[in-house]
Structure 1
């Protein structure tokens, strides 16, 4: 699959805000370097109207914000790119690293997560993934059944299993996700994690889960939540992210979520995660 790469000049204070908008436009990969944001999207999902929409968004940020360049990148170049940019990192109780990195000698107090990404999202670098990982030890209980909506690299479900969850089911609408999650399942030697390509229709009929994780974006969450709640057990927990601070009141007013108890909201930079209980 070919990808379009946009190199965008933008003050780094606004990167997270623009990334949130680009997620809604189907962009999948991001790399940040000072005042440069590199964003990628499958070629078939990009057109002139999206380019114009991005240019309008950049006008809101003012200054020298602009699209510097646009080029086509073959799929086979992605692994080389991530190997240069993805580095090990400690996130809460976890130590996240790719297979090509050297493991720090002193991680005895950490839970190791070995993640080889095919795309940038789901590596732990994005604030939404970080806040979810940091919160998971308080959310997951021994023996839980977990549903991971929009599983990406599978990092959240794998983390849940390493915290003692009994099983996990993940789904994602992107083809790369199913393959990548399967690879990461093998790398981490976790059992009972099933991944399917698709949306809620691929969730086994009649299944109920103790915890549902959904790190996507506001619009997708609003659309999915009514269906997802049909798979949540009584007293089950729903942990949402992919949300900006300004999205919190919008989410809390959703009719489906008003039936749940809002337990807490946590923040990392401009991003938030929200925890509910049935």
Structure 2
């Protein structure tokens, strides 16, 4: 049986939504790229009309384009490797798939098999978050990763010496993938939870909270993050654009946080705040 590849160009705020929508249509492998993502499905499960109806529901909300092509099963590994190149972040962190060889010069080596989840390091927000993580002391810290996707940031926290790590996602298939990736990297103890901000209510306080989601969710859920953030703890945010930063800074200030710094890549931002 051959595969159908659907490649969508769409901004990150809608990419995760469309990933979930296509998952409901039977697509079972997703690879992110700088402009959106590619989705894969067995040819016999592919329904062109269902795809068109799904795309049409979002056409008025966001600019998006898509293309489709057939991939022979014997070329599947080649196609996967073509779409997921290993990379280095901050001159220290190797992010690769399990079929890539381990590089000799990486201080930290993370293996990610993304399946249907976002977070391979190729998107600007993931890269920016990891670069910001590298500036913070994680040793023996308690870390929370909200909207964990593949679990890459939670795994990075483990690589940096975090003692306790909790990761949260709203989709059950993403939770499964994050657990698989955590185990693949030797971090079976990462507590991956299904749900949203309600799942962290009443938790013991965290030293570092990571949230790479989108502007609206961050604005809505920031009080829940601050409620479980230790005094002098750090909140790292991403998933928004440079023009959104003042709005998030204002919200953070209202909640008693202090803005420290931010990084920008292709208009995407990751910012660091500190609790009082």
Q: What TM-score does the superposition give when structure 2 sets the normalisation length?
A: 0.78
For residues 200-223 of structure 1, the C-alpha deviation after alignment (integer angstroms, 9 at most, x for no partner) is 222273410000000011111112
Moved more, 23-32 or 126-135: 23-32
In 1, the alpha carbon distance for the partners of 2:166 and 2:157 equals 11
Cα distance change on mapping 1:80 and 1:118 into 2, 3 Å: farther
- State whether residues 262 and 272 of structure 2, in contact with CA within 8 Å, keep that contact through their aligned partners in structure 1: yes
> What displacement does 1:79 show?
8.6
User: What's the counterpart of residue 54 of structure 1?
Assistant: 59
User: What's the counterpart of residue 225 of structure 1?
Assistant: 222
- State whether residues 217 and 243 of structure 1, in contact with CA within 8 Å, keep that contact through their aligned partners in structure 2: yes
User: What is the DSSP-based 3-state SS (H/G/I as helix, E as strand, rest coil) of the residue aligned with 2:11?
Assistant: helix
User: What's the counterpart of residue 22 of structure 1?
Assistant: 14
Cα distance change on mapping 1:6 and 1:223 into 2, 3 Å: farther
User: What's the counterpart of residue 179 of structure 1?
Assistant: 176
In the alignment, does 2:151 pair up with 1:154?
Answer: yes
Residue 88 of structure 2, aligned match among 82, 87, 90: 90
For residues 61-98 of structure 1, the C-alpha deviation after alignment (integer angstroms, 9 at most, x for no partner) is xxxx8555699xxxxxx998644411211111211111
Structure 1 segment 1-278 matched on structure 2, within 5 A = 7=7, 18-23=10-15, 25-27=17-19, 29=30, 31-32=32-33, 38=37, 48=53, 51=56, 53-54=58-59, 57-58=62-63, 66-68=65-67, 82-92=80-90, 93-104=92-103, 106-107=104-105, 109-119=106-116, 121-190=118-187, 192-203=189-200, 205-254=202-251, 257-278=254-275
For residues 116-161 of structure 1, the C-alpha deviation after alignment (integer angstroms, 9 at most, x for no partner) is 1113521001000001111212123311100110111111011111
Q: What TM-score does the superposition give when structure 1 sets the normalisation length?
A: 0.77
Cα distance change on mapping 1:232 and 1:94 into 2, 3 Å: same
For residues 27-54 of structure 1, the C-alpha deviation after alignment (integer angstroms, 9 at most, x for no partner) is 4656558xx85555999x9885862542
Pairwise CA RMSD of aligned residues?
3.4
In 1, the alpha carbon distance for the partners of 2:188 and 2:245 equals 35
Cα distance change on mapping 1:113 and 1:178 into 2, 3 Å: same
Equivalences, count: 252
Cα distance change on mapping 1:22 and 1:140 into 2, 3 Å: same
- State whether residues 142 and 165 of structure 2, in contact with CA within 8 Å, keep that contact through their aligned partners in structure 1: yes
Q: Which runs of 5+ in 1 are unaligned?
A: 9-14, 59-64, 72-77
User: What is the DSSP-based 3-state SS (H/G/I as helix, E as strand, rest coil) of the residue aligned with 1:254?
Assistant: helix
Cα distance change on mapping 1:122 and 1:32 into 2, 3 Å: closer
Moved more, 134-143 or 178-187: 134-143
- State whether residues 82 and 117 of structure 1, in contact with CA within 8 Å, keep that contact through their aligned partners in structure 2: no
Cα distance change on mapping 1:37 and 1:121 into 2, 3 Å: closer
Cα distance change on mapping 1:67 and 1:232 into 2, 3 Å: same
- State whether residues 153 and 177 of structure 1, in contact with CA within 8 Å, keep that contact through their aligned partners in structure 2: yes
